[in-house]
A and B are shown apart, each in its own frame.
Chain A
Amino acid sequence: MDSLIINKITITVVPFLASLLIKFLARTMKLTYINFEKIRDDWQRGKNVIIAFWHGRLMFMPVMYKGNGVSVLVSQHRDGELIARTVRRFGISSVRGSSTRGWFGGVKGLLREIKKGKDIAITPDGPKGPRFNAQMGIIHLARTTGLPIIPITFGASKKKPLRAGTPLSCLTHFQKAYLYAALPLP
């Protein structure tokens, strides 16, 4: 089968399913927020912030966000496209660029979003890792803009362990499942 068509279907269907899954899970879960006084205050006063979380904790961040608008930095790879399209379904925009590819384009885009009055969300360990290793980019952005960085994370009482090396395995599983379903039987 034409892999371009599969690609196109994947890139449309996966974000849709992923967003449904996240919304469904969030609705069934009991969620607790700890130390959110400061960021809620910033949101109320319309003060912009830079939100930072590990790439592996990205999935539930759209659920947490209650501010006035946020733009997330995602990679220019296809994974980034999947993430961009998934978060768009939560009303979150994205800026494309990363430390390995097109970082400077990313910075320009982020500064533009901040000027528009938006918060910024960044995974400082990037999509490529090394995992749990914060890169310098976010620090430079905080210095240039004067905005505070707010570290945020997420944990769950019962979870399916993510497959090693695939922090976004939720999306990947979907993608694979869909690909299998789309392939013709031998």
Chain B
Amino acid sequence: MPYPFSKGVFICGSPITVDRNSSDDELEEKRALLQNSLMEITEKADKYFS
């Protein structure tokens, strides 16, 4: 929970689109991509002010 009068940062990752005809492997690839993207931007956000 942030402190009052602290600084905050919102970060967007690159958009991820999923093709309608994706195979199971491709769906899993997109899932991993989303997971990695969220990990990456969250780490960036946590380090942003340090």
Contact = CB atoms under 8 A, between A and B. Distances in A.
Nearest to B15: A148
A35 B35 CA distance: 18
B16 A53 contact: no
B28 to A, nearest CB: 8
A128 interface: no
A132 interface: yes
B34 A139 contact: yes
A170 B45 CA distance: 20
A146 B19 CA distance: 7
A133 interface: yes
Interface string B6-48: 1111111111111110100001001110110111011011111
Contact of B16 (A146, A149, A153): A149
Given A60-B2, A132-B38, A39 B12 contact: yes
B49 A155 contact: yes
Contact of B38 (A26, A54, A59, A159): A54
B38 A157 contact: no
A35 to B, nearest CB: 4
B7 to A, nearest CB: 4
Contacts of B47: 155
A124 B34 contact: yes
B10 A33 contact: yes
B23 to A, nearest CB: 11
Contacts of A159: 1-3, 6
Given A52-B38, A54-B38, A133-B35, A156 B7 contact: yes
Which 4 interchain pairs have the tightest Cβ spacing? A155-B45, A156-B2, A151-B13, A157-B49
